[in-house]
Amino acid sequence: MIEDGLFEQFPCDSLYAMHNAPGKPLGTFDASPVTRTAAGAFFDIDVLGKGAHGAFPHQGIDPVTIAGELIGALQTIVARNISPTETAVLSITQVHAGDAYNVIPESARLSGTIRTFSMDVMNKIRARVEQLASGIAASHGGSAALDFRIIFHPVVNAETTAALAAEVCDDLVGADHVTRDRPPSTGSEDFSFMAEQVPSCYLHLGNGADSKPVHNPDYDFNDEALVYGASFFSRIVERSLQGE
């Protein structure tokens, strides 16, 4: 949308987005400034070895062994290459190799995700993943190819829009039910790209204390939250346009 000229066709002074928050009481809001969610990347590492019979491993180059060593090594990146004052997550979420009990496969694939609160840290991790993948594979006589895709940037709320959003939430539910200093989440959100273009605020709206997490088969949106969300958006429009 941005690449297609969204903000050239529809110029904006400010933007507001809302995400429901399972586990938070109904009728509560979070309208905190600065960083709200993490940058997010997906990656695939294809390890290439040499296939062989499982009974004659010396005749091949085992990509499963390389992948197993690489899984452990990748977990050292956050612990040993990123400053303790920074936040980063590296998770291997998929491992694929072979389809027979007695055959060492030719290749293996590791896949996963990375989350950071800055693009500098994201780029450091990307470089280190590539170094480890190629180095460990080469040490065993194999090779590795990295496909690294940055999907999200961090969502950063502007101070001005976050302050106005918090004031509107105060009017709706009372200041005791509005959080202004919630720690950022390592989840990711593509609203980040809009927030880089226009001063923005990304809010959270309570979905109920007993609500199941999102991206969960038992999740159920609380319809009673609708009135709070709709009221916020109508009020923010009224407050923003008062001067006009």
Map out the domains of the chain as residue ranges.
Answer: 6-38+154-241, 39-152
At residue 244, does pLDDT exceed 70? no
SS3 71: helix
Q: pLDDT tens across 30-84, in order?
A: 999 999 999 999 999 999 999 999 999 999 999 999 999 999 999 999 999 999 9
Q: Which residues contact 4 (CB under 8 A, 6 or more apart)?
A: none
Task: Band the pLDDT of 242: cuts 50, 70, 90.
Answer: confident
Q: Give CA–CA dist 106/82, Å, rounded.
A: 33
Span 161-193, pLDDT tens digits: 999 999 999 999 999 999 999 999 999 999 999
**What's the predicted TM-score (pTM) here?**
0.89
39-152 has the same fold as 6-38+154-241: no
* pLDDT at residue 227, rounded to an integer: 97
Provide the CATH number for the domain formed by 6-38+154-241 in this structure: 3.40.630.10
Q: Does domain 39-152 have CATH number 3.30.70.360?
A: yes
Burial 121-151 (b: 16+ CB within 10 A, else e): bbebbbebbbebbbebbeebebbbebebeee
Which H or E element spans position 107? strand 107-116
Distance CA 105, CA 96 (A): 10
Average pLDDT, the chain: 96
